[in-house]
Structure 1
């Protein structure tokens, strides 16, 4: 769960899935009637929050809260793997060679997942839910331990994005695959909330949905929204880099929040669909900055799966603003892509 701790004039907020810290100076009001509003609450096993500059005549916090609640309830009903009545879980329950009409938002995410899968040669794959459960990280997860190789081989028969296709408004499968949208659903939610704020005339905001961020404009005092990129530690919070964000989504994927240890090795919830196992390299976390929070969400997962060298090459090839943290015997090693250096330099 996320928790907020006030430290002087800064607010520190960490997400359950990501190593991000949002730094926002809070100002109650100004003489012209403008104010900084801050709302939030629980959602999907984690939290959400919105900070926005309210000018005279714009929506009050109760109105914004209601709009955000509607968006998050819809995302949960459509995309959650933790409720059997969600659209995606009803699809997952179908046998092979069947189809189900799906909301446009779900089809959008499946198309994004297909694109990321093709670009990563199948390392990133939305159909990994059976593997996530087998390794003990999903809603139907077993004990957190290394599963029997025979069990992995059996489950791998039900994994593969190539078994999915879209037919009009229907999602279809030619094998008994199960789709897990958790690697992009929160980013989609952050983008959706930001779009709703824009429609309400709110153009200066910081949105957080289960750790995924979207920021635009300036705070009430004219200063930028500032995001601190956190070291991938599970014992304390240490900000490694602080950046200004305006018009971008920010997402971090890491191996330090949800994992188990066995025989001295760390097995995280990030699974490589090609091997059927959690990643076992030295890349501890990846942060991606992208105009779309949805794409930042998916790309941070994709890069984490690829590992240190392939991820950096991928980021360079596709001009992705990425911040890498690697584990080493002496601590952590920081690497950045050229796009990240250009973006961070321009905004700080």
Structure 2
């Protein structure tokens, strides 16, 4: 995945050892990478993306799950979430096949937008078909999916207390040896130093944060984020700097944090309230940052 992982856990009597846990964890990482990486030419998604319009490819169960989940998020958000935005990311210089950051013209954007959209995908049994030369990109949900897969395997092996981090997506279960809760800090989206906006005490939750403060470029005094609105074909332009979602499913938290980041603070908060989503929005203001939380987020236990 081009990133890092860490696992902190409480050793159980008769439980698995470190070598076994590492082997199991890395086997799942290798499987997901082999199916969903956009940076290797032999992955399933790379082969699917190379197919022409009208072609179909057999899907594995994980790919079926992610395509179905992505389609539901796209439908729920009116197209704000989309797994087919890779051509737009490449065009602007953020994707795996990009040729450098730049601001494309309107005509270029409109041409590429014709190759973007879940409506171009069709599931036929265990096959995925496309009626246009669309390209899939699972980066907005693959890490969350992987966290859930690994967490389920850890628990099957007998672990009852752990903090799992894969590329920044988290899953927390149980308590530390001294009986205290695992603590998860949510960063203020600053570029000059690390600073915690909130510290949560969690058990049984996945946590995902999306933001515009790590991947962006500036041109002619304007800031262009790597978060894209598929409906406009351009990076989002609002004051929302980051969104954190806490959910029992790391997959759901991962996808929703991206979706809410696209919607922006006002529409995103309304979306979260309507669906009972625990979300923290941090907006960039002239005097600093302003945090807004959904009702469900306010109900989460915080560290004192």
TM-score, normalised relative to structure 2: 0.98
Q: Offset of 1:110 from its aligned partner? A: 0.6
Match of 1:132 in 2: 89
Cα distance per residue 1:214-246 (max 9 Å; x no partner): 010001111111001101112211111100110
**d(CA) in 2 for partners of 1:51 and 1:118?**
37
Is 1:225 the counterpart of 2:182 in the alignment? yes
| Equivalence map 1:166-181=2 (5 Å) | 166-181=123-138
Q: Give the structure with the higher percent strand.
A: 1
Structure 1 runs of 4+ aligned residues shifted over 4 Å read: none
Query: What residue ranges of structure 1 are gaps of 5+ in the alignment?
Result: 1-43
**d(CA) in 1 for partners of 2:76 and 2:280?**
20
Match of 1:90 in 2: 47
TM-score, normalised relative to structure 1: 0.86
**d(CA) in 2 for partners of 1:96 and 1:201?**
46
Is 1:303 the counterpart of 2:260 in the alignment? yes
Query: What residue ranges of structure 2 are gaps of 5+ in the alignment?
Result: none
Is 1:270 the counterpart of 2:227 in the alignment? yes
Q: Offset of 1:206 from its aligned partner? A: 0.6
| Equivalence map 1:260-339=2 (5 Å) | 260-339=217-296
> In angstroms, what is the RMSD of aligned CA positions?
1.0
**d(CA) in 2 for partners of 1:226 and 1:209?**
16
Is 1:214 the counterpart of 2:214 in the alignment? no
Is 1:108 the counterpart of 2:65 in the alignment? yes
Q: Offset of 1:141 from its aligned partner? A: 1.1
Is 1:236 the counterpart of 2:193 in the alignment? yes
**d(CA) in 2 for partners of 1:161 and 1:323?**
28
Q: Offset of 1:166 from its aligned partner? A: 1.1
Corresponding residue SS for 1:343: coil
Cα distance per residue 1:62-106 (max 9 Å; x no partner): 000000010000000011111111111111111111100011101
Matched positions, count: 304
Residue from 179, 186, 190 that aligns with 2:147: 190
Q: Offset of 1:114 from its aligned partner? A: 0.4
Match of 2:102 in 1: 145
Q: Offset of 1:264 from its aligned partner? A: 2.0
Residue from 164, 181, 204 that aligns with 2:121: 164
Match of 1:246 in 2: 203
Match of 1:99 in 2: 56
Is 1:55 the counterpart of 2:55 in the alignment? no
Is 1:64 the counterpart of 2:21 in the alignment? yes
